[in-house]
Amino acid sequence: MPPRKIIIDTDPGQDDAVAILLALASADEIEVLGLTAVAGNVPLHLTARNARMVCELAGRPDIPVFAGCDRPLGRDLVTAEHVHGKTGLDGPDLPDPAMPLQDAHAVDFIVDTLRAEPPGTVTLCPLGPLTNIAMAFEKAPDIVNRVAEIVLMGGAYFEVGNITPAAEFNIYVDPQAARIVFKSGAKLTVMPLDVTHKALVTKPRNDAFRALGTPVGVAVAQMTDFFERFDKEKYGSAGAPLHDPCVTAYLIRPELFTGRHINVEIETQSELTMGMTVADWWRVSGRAPNAMFMGDIDADGFFTLLTERLARL
């Protein structure tokens, strides 16, 4: 079976970085066509910088990286330096990127790639706010039916919100964009906090990253050392939740995850619940299912996969 062609839309972010590294370490299953940076955890100039730094850490300066939207569709940008640090990639001391940013806008890369590749062969993997994806769908509605699948990190239901009591960060930052994507009709697989909060980097797991002894293994250990402090303090959790690598791991071993095909709508009217993913887990609304909403993960299997793949870089 040929590798799945993907575009990773990302706002690095330490967990985005690990998701990108896992993808680049899995060439048998995944062909990364490009990275598209979006404003989210930190402003766009930093997410575009960090995306390139991660490619170079993986020894892949050939991966094209594009800068996309620098703010949400209809709201002011909200960032998360309190979690990820002022650079967005605090923890390891990585060199400034030498590889250039591509000239084309990320939205044009998404549109052009989906039009150029055979229908149903490109998977979109958003790891941040959905601004670039929504803009591409608005600019070129013809590409929606050409998307093989959207596998995204975002939302929450039983786990509730992490940026407000009701909303998860990626959806909260650009709820209008999320509404466009969730109503697009594209095949949608969602990795919410309900799953990612079960993928915790405990000390033994982080020790296993460091024990790889490679620049990638040590850098990943340093990244999770840095960004675990927020979740440990807030939730008393046993380690940092590896949100975004759940997306990449799903592409490689989908059986690690279980969920339900249900209706998920996005709150865009009430400031109180803005960005909430209203997931009809118990199927009481009568609304048509539009997303495979994940609810559980084999966390040990996830970390075994992740650690063995990172060892390849």
Pick the stretch among 162-170, 214-222, 256-264, 277-285 that binds ligand RIB (CB under 6 A).
162-170
Among Ca ion, ligand RIB, none, partner that 162 touches (CB below 5 to 8 angstroms by kind): ligand RIB
Taking contact as CB under 6 A, which single stretch among the options 24-32, 167-175, 232-240, 275-283 is the one that binds ligand RIB?
A: 167-175
Strand partners, 124: 7, 150
Q: Which residues ranging from 31 to 60 are in contact with ligand RIB (CB under 6 A)?
A: 40-41
Backbone angles phi, psi at 35, to 5 degrees: -110, 135
Can you read off the two tokens belonging to residue 42? 């930190």
Kindly indicate which of the ranges 31-39, 47-55, 71-79, 164-172 contains the residues binding ligand RIB, using the contact rule CB under 6 A. Answer: 164-172
Closest listed residue to residue 16, CA positions, set 249, 229, 244: 244
Question: What number of helices (H) and strands (E) belong to the chain?
Answer: 12, 12
Residue in 169, 182, 230, 302 binding ligand RIB, rule: CB under 6 A: 169
Q: Would you report the helix, strand and coil content of the chain in percent, each value rounded to 5?
A: 40, 20, 40
Of 7, 8, 14, 16, the residue at the interface with Ca ion (CB under 5 A) is 16
**Residue 91 makes contact with Ca ion by CB under 5 A:** no
Query: What span, in angstroms and rounded, lies between the C-alpha atoms of 169 and 175?
Result: 10
Least distance in angstroms from the C-beta of 133 to ligand RIB: 14
* Catalytic status, residue 243: yes
Residue among 244 and 280 whose Cβ is closer to Ca ion: 244
Q: Which two tokens stand for residue 121?
A: 């062969």
Of residues 105, 197, 243, 261, which has the active-site annotation? 243
- Residue 231 phi/psi, 5-degree rounding, is -70, -35
Distance (Å, whole) CA 44 – CA 41: 9
Q: Which of 26, 170, 189, 224 binds ligand RIB (CB under 6 A)?
A: 170
Q: Which residues pair with 241 in a beta bridge?
A: 200
Asked whether position 9 contacts Ca ion by CB under 5 A, the answer is no
Q: With binding defined as CB under 6 A, does residue 162 bind ligand RIB?
A: yes
Residue from 128, 155, 217, 295 in contact with Ca ion (CB under 5 A): 128
Contact 278, 272 (CB under 8 A): no
How many C-beta atoms surround the C-beta of residue 120 within 10 A?
A: 12
CA-CA distances (angstroms) from residue 94 to 1, 26, 56?
35, 22, 9
Name the segment binding ligand RIB (CB under 6 A); options: 7-15, 176-184, 207-215, 299-307: 7-15
Name the residues that contact Ca ion, by CB under 5 A.
Answer: 11, 13, 16, 127-128, 244
By annotation, the residues acting in catalysis are 243
Binding residues (CB under 6 A) for ligand RIB: these are 11, 13, 15-16, 40-41, 127-128, 153, 162, 168-170, 243-244
